[in-house]
């Protein structure tokens, strides 16, 4: 098990909702890539449950300091004499007292464990409710003392202040599971606005000269508490459904945040219909923080965004934002019982993003998104199971992300296919309503899924959540001509998992079109028979990617995906090795040549990029968008070399393909009117 300090540096699930692996423009159609900060794993030695915070705090932006007195009330769940609370290492505890203000002995570790160990002076029995008061202060200016070495999770300064829950500016216990009520009085300079989740809109009250105090209160247990403060421009918009958006922007960025109103409104509409009503007082705050913090950060009723997310020329990554909005349901409203339950939050939020895209994209684009999800899920599938990944994998690694985000989401996609839409969405609604405002475990979800489905789903969860490994399908069949002049394709679909138990869809391609059937498959094989008026050509297993599986083509895509991961972190040599390895397996892989072209383009090796994109155009053009986007990038290369006439010819070819995937036609037309590389022209980025 990792040390507390090591775990703090790489862990906190909700904290690094926005810590991105380097996201290079135009890499491949994708949602933005986010690395999780996972939970602090609950120990079997946990002896108490947090109940309530009462906090009086003051910030001094001129000195970058926070001064606070926090009263923490907890209930003992096992006999104990000591209490251990986590606290940011930049904050120094000066005094700890009990509920009667009697001084208590304590030891603070600000370098390794980032905690405060308190000796209560006597053993308290199970069920006893105790309160401890901590006086502490310190400067919050750099990442030092926080759980992430290169990202600020708390900052106090004249440009604007933020205190993210994950920074541990409050002394809490059992990260992401410690739901508690709170009363917070935050004193700030006159003219500052303070915002955060509260039962009532916080209204400032006069304090001493030049100061004002904002009271915030939650009578509902939540993950307390993320606050922002500063000279923000506040704008409120009420939607038709009665939900209020509050945008908090730094002067000059108000219009940028306005652009989020429509897509975020659609996300909330989709999720409310699928899961249940928005959980936090029908108000969602979208607040700007700074570029030294996380790109995205979700907390109860609030999403914090770094300016780079919305202030550039490229559009906001809606797939990533959709995942952040989904955390309001999965992870905030429904909290987790322990570190090992993270699939409930990470996988379900990622799948929720896919549901949003299904509502806003064409069927072809949704199938492309599903294909991408499958490929990402396979990239490091054998590294660990979903139940074991939190304890076995480094939570900022590509393998962890592939397993927890992408395999995690795909398993929900499979469960939906198995149960059917009606029962699957009934399950999500019931689960949300049952565990809203409390903590949930995977075992709770499995039990409820079995109940809603009407059959025990232990075999499903055992194979896909508790275990690793995916099937590889193949078919064996004969084509028979009947007396009536029809054709029969009669055979067997096989795979390599003895305990496999899923319906499997088959599609017959024939000269006259396609037909489909679904066969129940329990074990390693199942019979099938198609009847066709025209000569059969091919039987395709799982044509719409409902089941996590591997194939020869997918193996090639997985190699390319691994190259993409190296590309993201600027490991160009390793990336090129992976792309070339994929092309050795399939020299006609348009996607392999396309990504190799992107690598050379990023390195400004325009001639080799031109050759690679040309090979992509001449390949088998799977996926189909590679042709149009290869022409666009060839045009970008020629523009970069000052060959405008050749660039225009390439953009025109892209337009002539008629491809609209990820705005290909629109981008080509933009470059026809304005050469690539001119001021304020973003590079192409098909997502």
Taking only the tens place, the pLDDT of each residue in 597-635 is 999 999 999 999 999 999 999 999 988 999 999 999 999
- Tokens of residue 30, six digits: 């994708």
Q: What is the pLDDT of residue 312?
A: 64
Pairing outcome for strands 283-288 and 302-305:
parallel
Pairing outcome for strands 501-510 and 536-541:
antiparallel
Cis-peptide, bond into residue 188, ω within 30° of zero: no
The helix-helix angle for 552-568 and 590-602 (nearest 10°) equals 10
pLDDT band at 661 (very low <50, low <70, confident <90, very high): confident
CB 644 within 8 A of CB 677: no
- Tokens of residue 228, six digits: 């922002």
Helices (H) and strands (E) in the chain, counts: 20, 27
Distances (CA, A) of 296 to 153, 286, 423, 593: 11, 10, 32, 33
Cα 131 to Cα 51: distance, rounded to the nearest angstrom:
10
Mean pLDDT in residue range 161-179: 93
Residue 12 DSSP code = B
The yes-or-no verdict on residue 350 having pLDDT over 90 is yes
| 3-class DSSP assignment, residue 385 | coil
The yes-or-no verdict on residue 10 having pLDDT over 90 is no
The yes-or-no verdict on residue 346 having pLDDT over 70 is yes
- Tokens of residue 84, six digits: 């251990």
Cα 331 to Cα 347: distance, rounded to the nearest angstrom:
11
- Residue pLDDT, tens place only, 351-402: 999 999 999 988 988 998 999 999 999 999 999 999 999 999 987 788 899 9
Across 557-587, b (16+ Cβ under 10 Å) vs e yields bbbbbbbbbbbbeeeeeebbebbeebbeebe
With tokens 């933009």, the residue in question is 670
pLDDT band at 678 (very low <50, low <70, confident <90, very high): low
- Tokens of residue 639, six digits: 């523009």
The yes-or-no verdict on residue 476 having pLDDT over 50 is yes
Mean pLDDT in residue range 39-45: 39
Q: What is the pLDDT of residue 237?
A: 87
Across 640-651, b (16+ Cβ under 10 Å) vs e yields beeeeeebbebb
Whole-prediction pTM value? 0.85
Q: What is the pLDDT of residue 174?
A: 86
pLDDT band at 241 (very low <50, low <70, confident <90, very high): low
205-206, strands of its sheet edge to edge? 92-98, 129-139, 65-76, 48-60, 180-189, 211-222, 205-206
- Residue pLDDT, tens place only, 413-451: 999 999 999 999 999 999 999 999 999 999 999 999 999
- Nearest 5°: the CA angle 531, 533, 534 is 110
């Amino acid at each position: 098990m990792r040390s507390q300090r090591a775990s703090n540096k790489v862990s906190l699930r909700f904290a690094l909702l926005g810590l991105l692996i380097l996201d290079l423009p135009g890499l491949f159609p994708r949602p933005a890539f986010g690395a999780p900060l996972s939970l602090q794993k609950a120990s079997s030695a946990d002896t108490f449950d947090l109940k309530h915070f009462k906090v009086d705090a003051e910030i001094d932006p001129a000195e970058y300091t926070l001064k606070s007195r926090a009263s923490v009330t907890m209930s003992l769940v096992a006999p104990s004499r000591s209490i251990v609370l986590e606290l940011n290492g930049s904050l120094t505890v000066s005094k700890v007292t009990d509920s009667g203000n009697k001084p208590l002995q304590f030891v603070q570790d600000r370098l390794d464990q980032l905690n405060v160990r308190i000796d209560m002076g006597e053993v308290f029995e199970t069920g006893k409710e105790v309160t401890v008061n901590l006086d502490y202060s310190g400067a919050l200016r750099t990442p030092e003392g926080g759980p992430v070495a290169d990202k600020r999770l708390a900052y106090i300064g004249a440009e604007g202040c933020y205190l993210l829950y994950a920074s541990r500016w409050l002394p809490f216990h059992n990260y992401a599971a410690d739901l508690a009520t709170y009363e917070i009085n935050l004193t700030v300079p006159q003219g500052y606005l303070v915002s955060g989740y509260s039962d009532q809109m916080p209204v400032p009250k006069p304090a001493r000269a030049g100061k004002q105090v904002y009271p915030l209160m939650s009578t509902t247990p939540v993950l307390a508490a993320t606050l922002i403060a500063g000279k923000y421009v506040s704008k409120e918009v009420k939607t038709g459904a009665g939900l209020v958006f509050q945008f908090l922007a730094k002067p000059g960025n108000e219009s940028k945040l306005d652009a989020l109103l429509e897509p975020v409104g659609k996300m909330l509409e989709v999720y409310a219909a699928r899961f249940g009503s928005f959980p936090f007082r029908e108000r969602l705050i979208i607040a700007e923080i700074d570029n030294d913090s996380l790109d995205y950060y979700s907390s109860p009723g609030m999403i914090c965004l770094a300016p780079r997310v919305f202030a550039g020329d490229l559009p906001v990554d809606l797939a990533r934002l959709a995942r952040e909005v989904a955390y309001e349901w999965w992870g905030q409203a429904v909290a987790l019982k322990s570190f090992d339950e993270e699939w409930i939050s990470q996988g379900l939020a990622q799948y929720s993003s896919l549901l949003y895209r299904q509502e806003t994209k064409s069927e072809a684009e949704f199938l492309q998104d599903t294909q991408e999800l499958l490929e990402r899920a396979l990239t490091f599938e054998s590294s660990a199971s979903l139940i074991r990944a939190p304890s076995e994998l480094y939570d900022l690694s590509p393998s962890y992300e592939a397993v927890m985000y992408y395999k995690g989401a795909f398993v929900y996609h499979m469960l939906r296919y198995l149960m059917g839409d009606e029962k699957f969405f009934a399950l999500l609604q019931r689960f949300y309503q049952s565990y809203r405002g409390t903590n949930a475990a995977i075992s709770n979800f499995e039990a409820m899924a079995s109940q809603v489905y009407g059959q025990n789903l232990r075999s499903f969860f055992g194979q896909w959540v508790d275990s690793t490994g995916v099937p590889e399908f193949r078919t064996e069949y004969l084509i028979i001509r009947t007396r009536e002049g029809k054709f029969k394709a009669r055979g067997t679909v096989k795979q390599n998992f003895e305990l496999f138990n899923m319906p499997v869809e088959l599609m017959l391609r024939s000269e006259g079109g396609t037909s489909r059937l679904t066969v129940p498959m329990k074990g390693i094989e199942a019979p099938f028979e198609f009847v066709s008026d025209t000569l059969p050509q091919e039987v395709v297993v799982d044509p719409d990617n409902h089941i996590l599986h591997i194939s020869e083509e997918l193996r090639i895509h997985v190699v390319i995906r691994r190259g993409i991961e190296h590309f993201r972190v600027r490991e160009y040599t390793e990336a090129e090795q992976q792309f070339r390895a994929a092309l050795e397996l399939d020299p006609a892989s348009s996607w392999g040549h396309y990504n190799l072209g992107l690598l050379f383009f990023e390195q400004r090796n325009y001639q080799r990029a031109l050759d690679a994109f040309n090979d992509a155009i001449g390949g088998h053009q799977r996926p189909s968008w590679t042709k149009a986007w290869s022409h666009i990038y060839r045009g970008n290369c020629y523009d970069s070399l000052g060959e405008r006439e050749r660039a225009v010819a390439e953009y025109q070819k892209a337009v002539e393909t008629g491809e609209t995937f990820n705005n290909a036609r629109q981008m080509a037309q933009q470059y026809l009117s304005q050469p690539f590389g001119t001021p304020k022209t973003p590079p192409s980025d098909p997502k």
